[in-house]
Structure 1
Amino acid sequence: MKTRFFTLAFVLFTIISFGQNQLKATNTVQQKQISENAIYQLFPTDNYWTFIKLDTRNGKMWQVHFTISDDGYQGELILNSSSLLMSDEVEVKGRFTLYKTNNMYNFILLDQINGKTYQVQWNSDKEKRFVSRI
């Protein structure tokens, strides 16, 4: 009797565990498909309150700040308001992506179609924010 109980418990536990793993894998695949086809993506910085929002079609970017207090800054600051594409190039979702560097204020922006790279520096001080071709 004890053997049957433990066998049944083991089988039920295995079935439940397998079902949860399959659900997690499906959600991960769905999230990856959404992010690959997304026009806008958020990239975290090492600053808890700051993200970079990227238009993946044309390289336009904004610094996004959030707060949980009434006296903190919340909003978007422009990093790059101009398209990085030539006038004859077509916008494609997912064309641009950001990569972190070891410097918390700097990212590398990659055009995944033609391979052009840009240094992106975010900062609260307007004079210290820029996007520059490498």
Structure 2
Amino acid sequence: MKKVFIFVFIAIIFSIFVFAETKKIASNQEAIVPYRLFKTTNMWNFIQLETATGRMWQIQYDIKGDSRGSVVINDKNLAENKKSIVGRFTLHSTDNMWTFILLDQIDGDTWQVQWSFEESERFIIPINSFGY
């Protein structure tokens, strides 16, 4: 009987560890902050977003220190003719590692955002309505 009890106890403990999940810290898109960092699938690069204007920079870090820095993805104020509100813009990743969707959370406007190591391949373009 004692062996059965020990076996059941070990089985319960084992199942707790097997089904335990590692908590991921999720980006809270409702946070009202002037700047946010968004992870890319490249371990060395992030996108920094100014949430009131839609301005973006590609941020690169490096362990050895030779490749740290930032480059502009978008320097245009996308809220120029609108009310500039902290938290207005947010980014959503896509299945394409180079592409994000920028969302104006107030008006619903969207842009395709492309980050890249090559300047000529970094851009932002509006996603227009199909007019349905």
**TM-score, normalized by the shorter chain, greater than 0.5:** yes
Q: CA deviation at 1:32?
A: 5.0
Match among 67, 76, 79 for residue 70 of structure 2: 76
Mapped to 1, the partners of 2:40 and 2:111 lie a distance apart of 17
Match among 104, 124, 131 for residue 131 of structure 1: 124
1:93-129: per-residue Cα shift (whole Å, max 9, x none)? 1100000000000000000000000000000100000
Counterpart for residue 6 of structure 2 = none
Structure ranking higher in helix proportion: 1
Percent sequence identity over matched residues?
42
TM-score where L is the length of structure 2: 0.72
What one-letter code is carried by the residue in structure 2 that aligns with 1:116? D
Q: CA deviation at 1:67?
A: 0.2
Counterpart for residue 114 of structure 1 = 107
Aligned length: 102
Ranges in structure 1 where 5+ consecutive residues have no aligned partner: 1-27
1:54-89: per-residue Cα shift (whole Å, max 9, x none)? 00001000000000014x3110000000101243x2
Ranges in structure 2 where 5+ consecutive residues have no aligned partner: 1-24, 128-132
Which SS does the other structure have where 2:57 is aligned?
A: strand
What one-letter code is carried by the residue in structure 1 that aligns with 2:45? T
Mapped to 2, the partners of 1:99 and 1:44 lie a distance apart of 10
| Over 3 Å off, 4+ runs | none
Counterpart for residue 61 of structure 1 = 56
Which SS does the other structure have where 1:41 is aligned?
A: strand
On the 8 A contact 2:53/2:80 being kept in 1, the answer is: no
What one-letter code is carried by the residue in structure 1 that aligns with 2:59? V
